[in-house]
Amino acid sequence: MCGIVGYIGTEQAAPILLDGLEKLEYRGYDSAGIAVFDGENIQMKKSIGRLKVLSELTHDGATMPGIAGIGHTRWATHGAPSDVNAHPHFNGDASIAVVHNGIIENYGKLKKKLMSKGCEFRSETDTEVVAHLLDYYYKGDPLAAIAHVMHHVEGSYALGILFQDHPGEIYAVRKDSPLIVGKGKTGSLIASDVPAILKYTRTVYFIENEEIVRLTADSLNFYNIDEEEIEKEPTTIEWDISAAEKGGYEHFMLKEMYEQPKAVTDTLNPRIRGNQILIEELGMTDEEIRSVKKIFIVACGSAYHTGVTAKYVIEGLARIPVEVELASEFRYRNPILSEGTLVVIVSQSGETADSLAALREAKAAGVRTLGIVNVVGSSIAREADNVIYTWAGPEIAVATTKAYSTQLIAEYLLALKFARVRGQITEDELADYIRDLKRLPQQIELLLNNKTKIQRFANRYLAARDVFFIGRGVDYAISLEGSLKLKEISYIHSEAYAAGELKHGTISLIEEGTLVAAVLTQEELYKKTMSNMVEVKSRGAFLLAVTNTDNVEAEKIADYVIYIPKTNPYFTNSLAVIPLQLFAYYVSIGRGCDVDKPRNLAKSVTVE
């Protein structure tokens, strides 16, 4: 999604803005722009396409002198990607410049009003409305103008603002779209995400909803919407910038896949003491755990897929009914949230608009909420009653891999904790589960090291038109993820089906040579899935099987078999996902796709 950077200090702003925007490229964008105050006027340059174009246009920032500026990478929502729709946007006389993440929902009404007052609009964006509205309310005091605008706009926004009349200041403000500020050695900075400014400072302030920041070269002042000054506590970012760089790998996705053994270990180990599971962050007493009557797992995309796995695991182990729901559905359907309901929101970014809205729905209904979140200090992490962090570190590739794997771990831990407290499993059984969990990092590593076999297979399927993923139980859950991974980065159409559902319609799509990837990791379901494999094979499908090492029978039916090491049946998704990730990755690069930044996608979907 869009990225914001701002700088005011003693150095030239433009190169710092371009550098920061580059660090945010992973979020996905279609155009970019910067505005810099040159001592007299605000100068602006923007362009559709990659940041490289903007860098060339400005000679790496050299043609835009000035020590205060704002920059933006845009992911189009209102108005097609174009030079004119790219941010920043000016008011009428170019004395106010604005960059914006989010969506102004009532922009149509505001635009009409502003046009009736004589404003002329250059772009089709909702953001330009903000620039004109600021102008409309501006009477010499930027803070008052910003607060006024905040009272009139509806929707979500993180804004960086320059006022020509106030050359020694830049402003930042947010509602429902992430924004941080920090102070570096040579000046103050704004960013929509940590990597953009980590080179300059580790001490950042997370801006809360309806807070305004005035930044000067050597000060940060925070205000609420009533323009009263407020105090804020800084947060120290623990991870290093190298964690957000490729470190010798060809792509972030490959690097992040290889980081999975460590990410899984880091998420697992601090919560295991001997043969006990300790999740202090859960904030629930045993009594409270025993009183849970129902769990909702709410999330989007891959995070939702981990929830589908978790439903099987939590219901199987802890015997608590679990409903898994897409956040975009949950938030609008008035779900029944009665006493004893626990709502678990799963999110890598902690900023996904639908997941955040779902969390707020649950809180408004008065039920207990728990976030499983990767980004420390993100909105979901801060707003949920409790949060279990997945210690995956920064995930840059748009397609999630290591965050997915750590979400599974957090959910297994939750299932086991609940199961033990509620007396559904014995101490000895828990010890066995823990032993299997602890083996996962090594087993994942083994699978990663086997990548050439998958690469060879992937190279044969670069021209595939349709791919189907099938499985039963948790194998169905992993099929959903395998299919999403493939389609999002290779642009090959693919679908996942519960294997038993094929003959209710989908099987008619199978033709000579259609690739069907069957996942069979559940011993008691081998035979069932194998008969579905026979069904598709007899209709011409080419069959890839992902199965356990002991299921050599699969070779009799499948054309190609990938084996995963044996683990507890509840945890097989942590292993089966690895070949599916590698397959998607190699198909994507074989087809020449932009694997880390697939078209039309954004890393963090902060708009609805």
To the nearest whole angstrom, how small is the minimum distance from the Cβ of residue 175 to ligand F6R? 19
Q: Which of residues 335-364 bind ligand F6R (CB under 6 A)?
A: 347-349, 352, 355
Burial class (CB in 10 A: 0-12, 13-18, 19+), 500: middle
- Residues 351, 279: Cα–Cα separation, whole Å: 23
The label of the residue with tokens 């009653």 reads 385
Asked if residues 149 and 133 have their Cβ atoms less than 8 Å apart, the reply is: yes
CB closer to ligand F6R out of 399 and 525: 399
CB closer to ligand F6R out of 309 and 352: 352
Asked if residues 71 and 21 have their Cβ atoms less than 8 Å apart, the reply is: yes
Tell me the residue type at 592. G
- Residues 213, 70: Cα–Cα separation, whole Å: 14
To the nearest whole angstrom, how small is the minimum distance from the Cβ of residue 371 to ligand F6R? 10
CB closer to ligand F6R out of 317 and 396: 396
308 binds ligand F6R (CB under 6 A): no
302 binds ligand F6R (CB under 6 A): yes
Asked if residues 517 and 468 have their Cβ atoms less than 8 Å apart, the reply is: yes
To the nearest whole angstrom, how small is the minimum distance from the Cβ of residue 6 to ligand F6R? 24
CB closer to ligand F6R out of 192 and 347: 347
* Stretch in the footprint of ligand F6R (CB under 6 A) among 227-235, 297-305, 314-322, 443-451: 297-305
To the nearest whole angstrom, how small is the minimum distance from the Cβ of residue 204 to ligand F6R? 19
- Residues 322, 310: Cα–Cα separation, whole Å: 8
**DSSP strand pairing (68-74 vs 155-163):** unpaired
Q: Encoding tokens for residue 408?
A: 């599974």
369 binds ligand F6R (CB under 6 A): no
Pick from 490, 539, 537: nearest CA to 518 = 537
* Stretch in the footprint of ligand F6R (CB under 6 A) among 38-46, 240-248, 296-304, 524-532: 296-304
Helix (H) or strand (E) holding 497: strand 493-498
* Stretch in the footprint of ligand F6R (CB under 6 A) among 49-57, 141-149, 226-234, 299-307: 299-307
CB closer to ligand F6R out of 36 and 580: 580
To the nearest whole angstrom, how small is the minimum distance from the Cβ of residue 249 to ligand F6R? 18
399 binds ligand F6R (CB under 6 A): yes
* Stretch in the footprint of ligand F6R (CB under 6 A) among 69-77, 156-164, 300-308, 528-536: 300-308
One-character DSSP codes across 111-128 = HHHHHHTT----SS-SHH
CB closer to ligand F6R out of 212 and 458: 458
Instruction: Please say if 2 is a catalytic residue.
Output: yes
Kindly report each contact of residues 525-534 with a partner whose C-beta sits within 8 Å and lies 24 or more positions away, as own/partner. 525/472, 525/473, 525/475, 526/551, 526/553, 526/554, 528/472, 528/499, 528/500, 529/470, 529/471, 529/472, 529/475, 529/499, 530/554, 530/557, 532/470, 532/499, 532/500, 532/502, 533/470, 533/557, 533/558
- b/e for 215-227, b at 16 or more Cβ within 10 A? bbbeebebbebee
To the nearest whole angstrom, how small is the minimum distance from the Cβ of residue 585 to ligand F6R? 12
CB closer to ligand F6R out of 5 and 346: 346
Instruction: Point out the catalytic residue in the list 2, 46, 255, 402.
Output: 2
392 binds ligand F6R (CB under 6 A): no
Which residues sit opposite 516 in a β-bridge?
Answer: 468, 543
Asked if residues 591 and 462 have their Cβ atoms less than 8 Å apart, the reply is: yes
Tell me the residue type at 560. Y
Helix (H) or strand (E) holding 296: strand 294-299
Measure CA of the first residue to CA of the last residue in the chain; give whole Å.
11
Q: Which residue of this chain has its Cβ atom nearest to ligand F6R in the complex?
A: 301
To the nearest whole angstrom, how small is the minimum distance from the Cβ of residue 587 to ligand F6R? 15
Instruction: Please say if 363 is a catalytic residue.
Output: no
CB closer to ligand F6R out of 123 and 405: 405
303 binds ligand F6R (CB under 6 A): yes
Half-sphere exposure of 4 (CA within 13 A, CB side): 28
Residues near ligand F6R (CB under 6 A), total: 15
Q: Encoding tokens for residue 265?
A: 């270990």
Instruction: Point out the catalytic residue in the list 111, 175, 537, 603.
Output: 603
To the nearest whole angstrom, how small is the minimum distance from the Cβ of residue 403 to ligand F6R? 6
Query: Of these, 448, 496, 605, 607, which contacts ligand F6R (CB under 6 A)?
Result: 605
Q: Which of residues 424-463 bind ligand F6R (CB under 6 A)?
A: none
To the nearest whole angstrom, how small is the minimum distance from the Cβ of residue 350 to ligand F6R? 7
Query: Of these, 69, 142, 182, 301, which contacts ligand F6R (CB under 6 A)?
Result: 301
- Residues 129, 90: Cα–Cα separation, whole Å: 9
- Residues 56, 64: Cα–Cα separation, whole Å: 12
To the nearest whole angstrom, how small is the minimum distance from the Cβ of residue 355 to ligand F6R? 5
CB closer to ligand F6R out of 317 and 578: 578
Q: Which of residues 56-115 bind ligand F6R (CB under 6 A)?
A: none
- Residues 50, 181: Cα–Cα separation, whole Å: 25
300 binds ligand F6R (CB under 6 A): yes
309 binds ligand F6R (CB under 6 A): no
To the nearest whole angstrom, how small is the minimum distance from the Cβ of residue 374 to ligand F6R? 7
211 binds ligand F6R (CB under 6 A): no
Asked if residues 2 and 72 have their Cβ atoms less than 8 Å apart, the reply is: yes
606 binds ligand F6R (CB under 6 A): no
Q: Which of residues 14-33 bind ligand F6R (CB under 6 A)?
A: none
- Residues 448, 402: Cα–Cα separation, whole Å: 13
- Residues 243, 377: Cα–Cα separation, whole Å: 18
488 binds ligand F6R (CB under 6 A): yes
CB closer to ligand F6R out of 292 and 380: 380
CB closer to ligand F6R out of 153 and 584: 584
Residues in contact with ligand F6R by CB under 6 A are: 300-303, 347-349, 352, 355, 399-400, 484, 488, 604-605
Q: Which residues are catalytic?
A: 2, 603
